[in-house]
Structure 1
Amino acid sequence: MPNSAAPTTLRCLVVDDDPLAIQVIQNCITHTDFLESVGACSSAIEAAAALRTTPVDLLFLDVDMPEMSGLDLLDTLTEPPMVVLVTSSRDYAVAAFEHRVVDYVVKPVAYARFLKAAQKALETAQAAPAPAAAAPVSTDHTFVKVDSKLVRVAFDDVHYVEALGDYVHIVLGQQKLIVYSTMRAVEEKFPPQQFVRIHRSTIVNLRYVQAIDDNAVVIDGKHLPIGQTYLRDVLQRLNKF
């Protein structure tokens, strides 16, 4: 059941290098009572700047754009809004899954198909858990749900965390916990002074970093690639740790 704080209106940004495509999506937004347009951008670069200053709940995003693609834009965002990919190609289904987009709509866009994608976004937003009341924060452990039980995880035991579809793998040496979660939720639970995100799909415990080798973090002999947008922060954190 949606929580009482669930949004009833989603603020939308349209990103496409085709003016006609922008007009079509904007018209669809106008005809959808739970959507509100906050603007449109003709390039991913322009959108990146807009997202820094404009609150956005839902991004209607083209993929093939000059200079920076829509998927490249998503790779630069640490906390992206919900995304509906709108593209003339059917070849991005795997990439859409990897980026956890809400839906994938192929041009030309019919309103019925647009509405289905918009409703999925609204349901996703309304299903998000309500902010919990403030509670004492543990400094050394957290609990994660594995299958049907809550498992206590000490932060010092976690070597790294990897995303895989709708799940994350929490690696504790030879043990691996498979948890239904997002990387954002992991970041919120794990102490930032001890953990750093090195890729949109990887968070590592700084205590277990053995080396940096060719833009990869080495933990337990495994090379974990560093995303280009995270490289500077990772190096700074390692120097300060």
Structure 2
Amino acid sequence: MRCIAVDDEKWALDLLVDNIRHVPYLELVARCKNARDASESLHAGKIDLIFTDVQMPGLNGLQFIQTLPEPPMVILVTAYEQYALEGFNLSVVDYLVKPVALERFIKACNKAKLLFDMRTEKSTKAVSIPDHIFINVEYSLVKIIFDDITHVEGLKDYIKIHLSSASKPILTRMSMKAMEEKLSPSKFIRIHKSFIVAVDKVTSIKRDFVCIHETEIPVGESFKESIKLITGNRK
């Protein structure tokens, strides 16, 4: 975990830095003597954990934490016990009172490491994004791969799904709205009340038509802005 140490007293900062060096999973990125130095370190790169004193000139440690829109994890290291409640109200990981024994310091770091691992595991879990749907076609469920779709055509209570791999479209009872909700908006654009096109299948664009090879698909008057999304020209 990347961390910074903040304390206005040199001897206290030296001791804090020495304790950090005893914890193998901590990487000390910067030692800071005030909140301004700490802010500069936060802007310079990603920081996972802040060790900070409370009483410092200018912004104190608690005030400094409150200025951060998305603060990293924080462990307060201070000579004063009276700030503990305020500190925990700011969701600090732990509150250490100087002088801090090394075993107590490591215990606080272990709490931060456990929280860090939990957050990392949660954020790195792959979100399963489906690449297909199953639709009802004549009493059967047919698998449709999204990347195979060239465009979707609406016909009252039915839709036609046109595929690259088939010469004939697939007809199913479904509304355009229901189908649109199943398609990724980054890959499919509605260009008409009756047509949705796959952006990467568009081969050319005319004034009032989008072309997928030889197929011309009309652009509805109220969907003209969609052309900008297809071309990437949003101005």
TM-score (norm 1): 0.51
**Superposed displacement of residue 109, structure 1:** 1.5
Select 1:95's aligned residue among 86, 96, 99: 86
**Superposed displacement of residue 134, structure 1:** 4.6
Select 1:74's aligned residue among 48, 52, 65: 65
Question: 8 Å contact 1:32–1:115 — kept in the other structure?
Answer: yes
Question: 8 Å contact 1:24–1:109 — kept in the other structure?
Answer: no
Q: Does 1:131 align with 2:124?
A: yes
Query: Which AA in structure 1 matches 2:57?
Result: P
Q: C-alpha separation between the residues in 2 aligned to 1:119 and 1:30?
A: 14
SS at match of 1:63: coil
Question: 8 Å contact 2:7–2:33 — kept in the other structure?
Answer: yes
Select 2:43's aligned residue among 42, 45, 52: 52
**Superposed displacement of residue 50, structure 1:** 1.5
Q: Does 1:36 align with 2:27?
A: yes
Question: 8 Å contact 2:30–2:41 — kept in the other structure?
Answer: no
**Superposed displacement of residue 131, structure 1:** 3.0
Gaps of 5+ in 2: 130-235
Select 1:116's aligned residue among 82, 91, 107: 107
Query: Which AA in structure 1 matches 2:124?
Result: P
Query: Which AA in structure 1 matches 2:28?
Result: S
SS at match of 1:130: helix
Q: C-alpha separation between the residues in 2 aligned to 1:110 and 1:12?
A: 19
**Superposed displacement of residue 120, structure 1:** 0.4
Deviations 1:150-200 (A, max 9, x none): xxxxxxxxxxxxxxxxxxxxxxxxxxxxxxxxxxxxxxxxxxxxxxxxxxx
Higher relative contact order (CA 8 A, sep 6+): 1
SS at match of 1:55: coil
Query: Which AA in structure 1 matches 2:13?
Result: I
**Superposed displacement of residue 132, structure 1:** 4.2
Report how many residues are paired.
127
Query: Which AA in structure 2 matches 1:37?
Result: L
Work out which of the two has the higher radius of gyration on C-alpha atoms and give 1 or 2: 2
Question: 8 Å contact 2:6–2:35 — kept in the other structure?
Answer: yes
TM-score (norm 2): 0.52
- Give runs of aligned pairs for residues 208-223 of structure 1, distance below 5 A: none
Q: C-alpha separation between the residues in 1 aligned to 2:123 and 2:38?
A: 28
Query: Which AA in structure 2 matches 1:131?
Result: T
Q: C-alpha separation between the residues in 2 aligned to 1:133 and 1:27?
A: 38
Match of 1:105 in 2: 96
Query: Which AA in structure 1 matches 2:26?
Result: L
Deviations 1:83-125 (A, max 9, x none): 0000000001111111100000000111111000000000011
**Superposed displacement of residue 130, structure 1:** 3.1
Percent of aligned pairs with the same amino acid: 42
Q: C-alpha separation between the residues in 2 aligned to 1:116 and 1:131?
A: 26
